[in-house]
Chain A
Amino acid sequence: MTFFLSCLISGISLGSVYAIIALGYTMVYGIAKMLNFAHGDVIMVGGYVCYCALNYLGLPSLVSVLLAMAACTALGILIEGLAYKPLRQAGSLAVLITAIGVSYFLQNAAQLIWGATPKTFTSVVHIELPQTLTNVGVSSEALVTVLVCVVIMVGLTLFINKSKLGKAMRACSEDKGAAQLMGINVNRTISVTFAIGSALAAVAGVLLCSSFPILQPTTGSMPGIKAFTAAVFGGIGSIPGAFLGGILLGIIESLAKGYISTDLANAIVFAVLIVVLLVRPAGLLGKYVPEKV
């Protein structure tokens, strides 16, 4: 029972990281209708920036995290402006290929700057948990990860539903042309979406590296793909869907690792995705909208 509980807890914690990353995927997809495959590598950059701030500049943890967020926000806006904006009118395939290109570019740039040798990330969480919690496998990192995820989820939901920028985002996601004719700056709205997604990626990167302290240029790619899976799993374009998909995916992965096989865990995760998509093609919370002919 304790083993199951500790699997579940580490699953929820891992799932929270996936959920935060998946929010970035799903928001960008919802508004720009593109899959930003470079998103996973923004996580890695976030991790590295935080690592540098902690180890080379000797900054406090919180400042380092904020610095990583700022750097990733700038990076997200830069990527969108340089790589995706010129392709706004191009086909979705061209944008997809560009995103993959950006992903490789970021990985290789990171390798050039920080080298290929894995770095050991020092956790940004310094909280002592009571014995009763640590006995059932709750680490302070896991707890903070879950809390941060919940805060982000609530904040983002409020932002999307209540603020005028959030409303502009929803309007852009439905009909960019009409939104523009109502005086909404569509380009700026898309940039803001990228900025938010990338800032979240930085948070995810720091949390991920705090729990699994190995940092290398490919750190972001597997969580990135998993989070993409989570977004599709929950219904891409849906924010609660990304949250649900991320948590479920984390739990499935963790339980598969604990009870079946560590090597097969990833295969099981993707197999579950395939089954879900066969039954619900639009994901758990997605709405199936038939294409008009």
Chain B
Amino acid sequence: MAEKKFEKGRMVPVPSHSIIPERDLGKTPILECTHLGIDFGGLKAVDDFTLTIGRTEIAGLIGPNGAGKTTVFNLLTKVYHPTRGTILLDGIDTAGKSTIQINRMGIARTFQNIRLFSNLSVEDNVKIGLHNQEKYSTLSAVLRLPAYWKKEKAAHEKALELLSIFDMQDMAGYKAGSLPYGAQRRLEIVRALATDPKLLLLDEPAAGMNPSETAELMENIAKIRDTFQIAILLIEHDMNLVMGICEGICVLNFGQIIAKGTAEDIQNDPQVIEAYLGKRKEAAPC
């Protein structure tokens, strides 16, 4: 069992612990959720969610509509506080932490429906993400003191560098709201990256993209992981993307994990097939 070679996806530069236990032994995982659960009244929106994500793993979270995938993201970022269970980020318990603290601890996310600051320029959107790292006093910004120029120049260069991942540096001056849809989705990823995360959560990054855009996105996701050496957890309905890029996949249905493993494992799992396609009728009468 331990000999099983991992085939899907790219080679990971740094060994890490992952959904697939055979890989990356001996390294602490970036994210460990144990028996995580949240109730909304009587509804167990997520229950007994146990998942480990390795340091540089690209993991997928899939499941039918309403399975609780976005709820998991909201739990991880503390938009909702879990009713049960623990979340360890880089070995540190996140109980009682606020959304802001979680962001500073190293989780950044994008949204299913784009939530850019549409009246701000593309560059300013990225700079909002850089916010935590920029250090200069407000007074020096108003009086335009040298400290401001220096930091602002650094932030400007950093923003352009991040934008260049997606070849968007030429769009820096545009209003975010005026960008085409695909570019807005990419900008959301750049903005999240600007907060210097260890774990990047992407909520349906390929939603509304055409096949060629999706293919490009897949390359870019892999590139981000390789460049920044971070873990990525993504929710996606586009199975080509999920199966093509995710090294580990977790399938959620009615708030519970029904399968974990590689793309191959998932595709052959009877429970997953049932969740997506329904139960096979025994010898249908004709």
A residues at B contact (CB < 8 Å): 155, 158-159, 162-168, 170-171, 174-175, 177-186
Contacts and interface: CB of A to CB of B under 8 A. Distances in A.
Interface of B: 77, 79, 99-100, 103-104, 108-109, 111, 115-120, 124, 127-129, 131-132, 134, 136, 138, 141-142, 144, 148, 152, 191-192, 195
29 contacts: A158-B141, A158-B142, A159-B141, A163-B142, A163-B148, A164-B141, A166-B141, A167-B120, A168-B128, A168-B131, A170-B117, A170-B124, A171-B128, A174-B119, A175-B115, A175-B117, A177-B115, A178-B111, A178-B117, A179-B128, A181-B79, A182-B128, A182-B131, A183-B103, A183-B104, A183-B129, A183-B131, A183-B195, A186-B100
B100 A183 contact: yes
B100 A171 contact: no
Tell me what chain A mostly uses at the interface: helix, strand, loop, or mixed.
Answer: helix
A183 B141 CA distance: 20
Contacts of B136: 164
A181 B200 CA distance: 12
Contact of A184 (B77, B79, B128, B144): B128
A182 B142 contact: no
Nearest to A174: B117
- 4 closest pairs, A vs B, by CB? A163-B141, A183-B103, A178-B115, A174-B117
Given A158-B141, A163-B141, A181-B109, A171 B115 contact: no
A171 B138 contact: no
B153 to A, nearest CB: 13
Contacts of B138: 159, 163-165
Contacts of A165: 138, 141
Contact of A181 (B99, B132, B152): B99
A3 B191 CA distance: 57
Contact of A182 (B79, B119, B129, B141): B129
Contacts of B100: 180, 183-186
Contacts of A167: 120, 124, 127-128, 131
A155 B109 contact: no
Nearest to A168: B131
A164 B79 contact: no
A166 B129 CA distance: 14
A162 B117 contact: no
Nearest to A159: B142
B120 A182 contact: no
A186 B79 CA distance: 14
Nearest to A170: B120
B203 to A, nearest CB: 11
B191 A182 contact: yes
Given A164-B134, A181-B99, 13 more contacts: A155-B142, A158-B142, A163-B138, A164-B136, A167-B120, A167-B131, A168-B131, A178-B111, A178-B116, A179-B117, A180-B99, A182-B195, A183-B132
A175 B119 CA distance: 11
Contact of B103 (A155, A164, A181): A181
A275 B34 CA distance: 62
A177 B79 contact: yes
A172 to B, nearest CB: 9
Contacts of B152: 162
A179 B124 CA distance: 13
Question: Which of A168, A175, A179, A182: most chain B CB closer than 10 A?
Answer: A182
Nearest to B98: A180
A249 to B, nearest CB: 26
Contacts of A179: 117, 128
Interface centre among A162, A167, A175 (most CB of B within 10 A): A167
B141 A174 contact: no
B165 to A, nearest CB: 18
Contacts of A178: 111, 115-117
A184 B120 contact: no
